[in-house]
Amino acid sequence: MNCILAVKTIRINMKKNDVPQDEGSLEKDNHKELCYAVNDKGEYTTIQSTGWKPKTIALDNALQEINERINKAKVKVLNGETSPIEYYMECHRMDISILASYVGKFQWQVKSHFKLKKFNSLSKKTLERYANVFEISIEQLKDINHEN
């Protein structure tokens, strides 16, 4: 009985001292976020936290996922399977719907611009729109290996 009670008291309340201070992705930027926790008197108070492992891992995984998508897109561009637009879209952590709203096109239009044949026949104006969104020159948009 005592044992069960003891376990329970540990679980009850996120105590002030229990607020995790794990090395988080925020820490290196010296940013601390605010958390809510209970003090010794059982009153709620706020305390800064540097991070918590479960979400640091989740964030790291998400970033890794993004990098994988970027690399995949890069290989596809180099193999001539897709246009550089898809690569830059991934670099900017966008998906087709977000990119479409940035360039003011329909999603099916953006998708069609992934096709090399279509991409090569795009007007300068359209190319400029994409270049502006990605903050690059048209030369860079046409060639992902283009140096500044």
Sites of contact with other proteins (CB under 8 A) = 11-14, 19, 25-26, 29, 31-38, 42-44, 46, 48-49, 52-55, 57-59, 61-63, 65-66, 69, 92-95, 97-98, 101-102
State the minimum distance, in angstroms, from the CB of residue 120 to other proteins: 26
Nearer to other proteins, 56 or 83 (CB): 56
Pick from 10, 17, 53: nearest CA to 37: 17
State the minimum distance, in angstroms, from the CB of residue 103 to other proteins: 9
Nearer to other proteins, 80 or 135 (CB): 135
In this structure, the number of other CB atoms found within 10 A of the CB of residue 67 comes to: 11
Pick from 121, 109, 117, 116: nearest CA to 81: 116
d(CA 11, CA 6): 9
Nearer to other proteins, 107 or 140 (CB): 107
Nearer to other proteins, 42 or 80 (CB): 42
State the minimum distance, in angstroms, from the CB of residue 46 to other proteins: 7
State the minimum distance, in angstroms, from the CB of residue 79 to other proteins: 22
State the minimum distance, in angstroms, from the CB of residue 57 to other proteins: 5
Nearer to other proteins, 98 or 116 (CB): 98
In sequence order, which residues have a C-beta less than 8 Å from that of residue 144 and are 6 or more positions away?
74, 77, 78, 84, 87, 88
d(CA 87, CA 10): 49
d(CA 141, CA 69): 18
